Amino acid sequence: MSNKVKKNLTPVQQEYYDFAKQREPKRPVFSNCVRAFLVGGGICLLGQLISDFFLWNFDFTEKTAGNPTVAILIIISVLLTALGVYDHIAQWAGAGTAVPVTGFANTMASAAIEHRTEGFVLGVGGKMFKLAGPVIAFGVFSAFVVALIKTVITMLGGL
């Protein structure tokens, strides 16, 4: 949580919190943002190139070219995760690898690979969505709410 007075801290605890905060190495926010920008932009650029490749060489439209693009980015991400390389790139790039769909694929691949020791059903199958679950749950729920609101507004006479 940010650097403000936290609720439920006694005065002694608050004093210690400030004391400790002063001695905490600050996260290099600016350089993290620069790296996130470069890597994130780079991945999107790659996505654009892949998308155009499918557009020009196969029977895809601008809308449908997104599907194989996402699939390819996912395969690359899973491969890098499986080879043990993704986490090192991500330590450097931060949100640059987490925000694109590569991050989503990494959450699923890393959880699936890690929990194989607990078996395929409960381990791989059961734990695969450990980190990806929030994205799917909140994505679907928010889309449901948005779509419902829009549909009801349309039904009541439209905007």
Tell which positions 41-80 bind other proteins, by CB under 8 A. Answer: 41-51, 66-71, 73-75, 78-79
For the chain, what's the residue count? 159
Radius of gyration for the alpha carbons in the chain, expressed in angstroms and rounded: 21
Build a one-symbol-per-residue string for 11-30: x at contacts with other proteins by CB under 8 A, - elsewhere.
-xxx-xx-xx--xxx-x-x-
Q: Which one, 58 or 145, has the nearer CB to other proteins?
A: 145
Which H/E stretch holds residue 138?
helix 133-155
Contact positions with other proteins (CB under 8 A) in 94-133: 94-101, 103-117, 120, 124, 128, 130-132
**Rounded to whole angstroms, how far apart are CA atoms 120 and 52?**
37
Contact 58, 51 (CB under 8 A): no
**Rounded to whole angstroms, how far apart are CA atoms 151 and 116?**
43
Contact positions with other proteins (CB under 8 A) in 128-157: 128, 130-132, 134-136, 138-140, 142-151, 155
Number of residues that bind other proteins (CB under 8 A): 103
